[in-house]
Structure 1
Amino acid sequence: MTEHTFRLPDIGEGIAEAEIAVWLVKLGDIIREDDAICEVTTDKATVEIPAAVSGKVVWLGAEQGAVMAIGSDLIRIETDETATATAAPTIAAPDATPAPSEQAAKESKVAVETPPEPKPASPAAAVKKPAQAVPVSSPLQARGATGRPLAAPSVRGRAIGLGVDLRQVRGTGPAGRILHEDLESFVAHGGAAPSMSGKGPRLGVEDIRVTGVRRKIAERMALAKREIPHFSIIEEVEVEALEDLRAKLNARFGETRGRLTLLPLLLRALCEAVVDHPEINAHYDDAAGTITRHHGVHCGVATQTDSGLMVPVLRHTEALTLWEVAAGIKRLSQAARNRRVLPDELSGSTITVTSLGPLGAIATTPIINAPEVAIVGVNKIAVRPVWNGNTFVPRRMMNLSCSFDHRVVDGWVAAEFVQKLKTLLETPAMMFMELGND
């Protein structure tokens, strides 16, 4: 019998610690080599950790939700012939079923070595109250001539104020009359019945521990909001020409190159706008006191997933065609939602774009993705009346909501950058000169 201790491996450059997001095994489990034993979360990704050997789990290094340093003892696995033998039936081929006597011996051995866990007490039993404490309606409750429960007018008025249906209250007074004491006891034991609207109060409370990606998001957002002096500029953009162009491109190239959404066109405009405003496509290291301006545009694309908000990075967006941008966004967003995005695809962005699509509201105030110094938010397109000099005409309009780090970006520079984006989006022919032909 040999006990192997395995440490939390190095799962990425610069990663010093990771959080145990979820254990996929428990004490006493028989596992095989390369089985996933847990998922760990860093500030860049969620990664599965595989088992290095087959055997029995005899020790876990931390509770779920705990943060461990890289190199800490993660798990201990006991390996011997017995443990290997008990694992064998889980991987045997269907036609390799052991003989009955052999099978019985193995089942007996498993029963001895891994006794069943005691069943937890029934939730109902754990919270069961004495019978007399639970308010119930009585089928023998006294009724008046109108069929209503017997109660004094003051009791009825008080019940209305409390939202209590007196038909649910057991009366203890003469002839089953409901007294004030009966009403108080009913309410005290959580028996408030539906109000006059027919809807009862929602009394449930749920505590959810903040772990994994959700906790990392909370930490990063709190740090960014606390450390970065944000200011936002919201500008209205007419997208009639942009939407007409997108419709024509999809009609011409949709079958062969894929259909375009608004986002690839916005990223194309963004790549052009930062050429004249390199201070926007930058990182700020306040500890070192340095601003790093990037020539390449590595766009972070904020993506909502079941685990929370993730920002995969489309590298060198400036060098991609419109359809390559669209394909890259689709691939990265799907990988993020399926939890298959690689750690290096979640770092290194130089500017981030965030969009809520059709839920984008009128305006937003997005939080900067540090150490970047700007973020561009896209709001929903809506038809609004626009004055053309003679009359109001319907136009498709969209607001851009951009936030900036005021430590390194001045208000005038930010306003010029937003106006450049507006100009490019309202006259999209300026964004590129050729599209190529199929």
Structure 2
Amino acid sequence: MAAVKEFTLPDLGEGLTEAEIVRWLVEVGEVVAVDQPVVEVETAKAVVEVPCPYGGVVTARYGAQGDTLAVGRPLVTVAVGADPSAEQPSGKDTAAEDEGSGNVLVGYGTQAAVSRRRARVRAVSAAVGHETAAAPSTAGPATSAAGPAANTAEPPRGDLAHPDGGPVAVISPLVRRIAREKGLDLRTLTGSGPDGLILRADVDRAASALAGAGTEGGSVPAAAARPAVDGEVRVPLRGIRGAVAEKLARSRREIPDATCWVDADATALLAARAAMNAAAGEAGTRISVLALLARIVTAALARHPELNAAVDTARGEIVRLPAVHLGFAAQTDRGLVVPVVRDAQARTTAELAAEIARLTEAARTGALTPAELTGGTFTLNNYGVFGVDGSTPILNHPEAGMLGVGRIAAKPWVHQGELAVRQVVQLSFTFDHRVCDGGTAGGFLRFVADCVQDPAVLLAAV
């Protein structure tokens, strides 16, 4: 007889607690192999394909395109052993197949891992006063408990207990964090989830009501106080776009940033790029302007290491970081993302160009992994591709610095004592004023500008 296995949304890593279904890759009744991707989901970091650890026949799917599921919620059920063609080609016995594969995302891959996750879900469900209902055996859309406000299992913290000693009905660390940031006491909220479970939507509604408390009536949420306007379009702030919005808002709240800027003659830099590409030939790596600027940035940070840093607000300390993980802003159909070039300080210009090209293509196709979008220590922002000269960008929290690059355009410029038409670019440097003063920021930007105007300065700095 076939054994029906339930595959739930696994832990996708990087502290992610939920994901939105982008598209299903399998149909009910379809035979799937072990580790075959069954669904494409979008997290706050990237779009990823989720492989199933079981081989067999898909008997049910949970959730439709656009639904948001929490980690631990059902994705599919698979009848293992229902079709001989679903057996593993590697010759593993049935017992080994029942244990699942070892090649799935974080938190999944073996039956033991699944059992541990389910045990945590059951323990938390009991702690908050309810048991998670068994998933239906037929395909259908996700319930409201698995919507945008759905929660992942984590034991409730002692500081969130009810006055009578019982735990607060909230299991999502994301919900707790949002409530804390908005100054809400979870003990005062009534949850709309199963058995009073507090969802993210409950926290958002309470925050809106708190924000609108100063209006007439005091208890009407701010969003509800404004009448609907015909023709208006509302775009949910979720997935990558929602994560970017939250990060930018946090940066503005926490970081006292300042910006300085300077114009530079980039004619020599463009000539150096052309010479490097000519020397490399058709088979060589094409050097981009962004790669040259990345190489200049790593040299500038070597001279000013205090700018490759972050501020630990909890401990009141500046943390200077040993490696330069250089992020660069990339605009995609799904919004702004910042892929990260790891250990940029150890790469040659050609290696930087190759890695930037690879990450850019992955960003355009939505193939970036969460690891490729996190851990940056400094950001390079080329907004010149939008045809603008300057900008005062928001820092990529918790980073302490960002170099902005405008368009390179022909402009009148005094060159060797005479007025000439040169290729001019505006450079801006936005920095966390807590980690340095204006002198350090100015020195960093001046060095960058000098390297742009005369690339030989970069050779002297090595």
TM range (shorter): 0.5 to 0.7
User: Which residue in the other structure is 1:249 paired with?
Assistant: 276
**Which amino acid in structure 2 is aligned with residue 24 of structure 1?**
W
Q: 1:263 to 1:25 in 2, by over 3 A?
A: closer
Q: Deviations over 1:254-274 (max 9, x none)?
A: 434233221121111111111
CA distance in 2, matches of 1:283, 1:239: 31
Alignment of 1:100-249 (within 5 A): 205-249=232-276
Q: Which residue of 2 aligns with 1:316?
A: 343
Q: Trace 1:78-93 onto structure 2 (pairs within 5 A).
A: 79=79, 84=83
Per-residue CA deviation, residues 168-205 of structure 1 (Å, 9 max, x unaligned), is xxxxxxxxxxxxxxxxxxxxxxxxxxxxxxxxxxx965
Match of 2:62 among 57, 60, 63: 60
Instruction: Give deviations 1:273-325, integer Å, cap 9, x for gaps.
Output: 11221111112222232322123222112222222222221122222222111
Percent identical among aligned pairs is 35
SS state at 2:404 partner? strand
Would the alpha carbon gap of residues 59 and 321 (structure 1) be closer, same or farther in structure 2, given more than 3 Å must change? Answer: closer
Query: Structure 1 runs of 4+ off > 6 angstroms?
Result: none
* Superposition RMSD in Å: 3.3
1:369 aligns with 2:396: yes
Residue of structure 2 equivalent to 1:398: 425
In the alignment, the residues of structure 2 paired with residue 114 and residue 8 of structure 1 have an alpha-carbon distance, to the nearest angstrom, of 17
TM-score, with normalisation over the residues of structure 2? 0.62
How far off its partner does 1:433 sit? Answer: 5.9
Listed one character per residue, the Cα deviations across residues 47-102 of structure 1 (whole Å, up to 9, x for unaligned) are 2212333334436279844351x4x2323515277x649x99xxxxxxxxxxxxxx
**Contact 1:377 1:402 (8 Å CA) reproduced:** yes
Choose the corresponding residue for 1:287, options 301, 311, 314.
314
- 1:410-430 deviations in Å (ceiling 9; x for gaps): 222211211111112212112
CA distance in 2, matches of 1:391, 1:272: 31
Paired AA for residue 60 in structure 1: Y
The question of whether the paired residues in 2 share the 8 Å contact of 1:20 and 1:38 is answered with no
Kept in 2, the 8 Å contact 1:254–1:260? The answer is no
Give the secondary structure class of the aligned counterpart of 2:307: coil
Aligned to 2:40: 39
Count of aligned positions: 321
Q: In structure 2, how many angstroms separate the alpha carbons of the residues matched to 1:80 and 1:265?
A: 53
Conserved 8 A contact 1:384-1:394: yes
Cα offset, 1:431, TM superposition: 0.9
CA distance in 1 between counterparts of 2:363 and 2:243 reads 15
Decide which moves more: 218-227 or 55-64. 55-64
Structure 2 counterpart of 1:4? 5
Partner of 1:22: 22
> Residue 293 of structure 1 aligns to which amino acid in structure 2?
R
- The two structures have a TM-score, normalised by structure 1, of 0.65
Structure 1 unpaired stretches of 5+: 89-112, 116-202
- Asked whether the 8 Å contact 1:350–1:372 carries over to 2, the reply is yes
Query: What is the one-letter code of the residue matched to 2:52?
Result: A
**Letter paired with 2:73:** D
- Name stretches of at least 5 consecutive residues in structure 2 with no aligned partner: 87-136, 140-229
User: Cα–Cα, structure 1 residues 373 and 360, in superposed 2: closer, same or farther, change >3 Å?
Assistant: farther
Matched residues in 2 for 1:44 and 1:206: separation? Answer: 25
Amino acid at match of 1:286: T
Question: Larger radius of gyration, structure 1 or 2?
Answer: 1
Which stretch shifts more, 203-212 or 330-339?
203-212
Q: CA deviation at 1:376?
A: 0.8
Distance (whole Å) between structure 2 residues aligned to residue 370 and residue 329 of structure 1: 21
1:269-288 correspondence to structure 2 within 5 Å? 269-288=296-315
Q: Give me the whole-angstrom Cα distance separating, in 2, the residues matched to 1:373 and 1:297.
A: 12
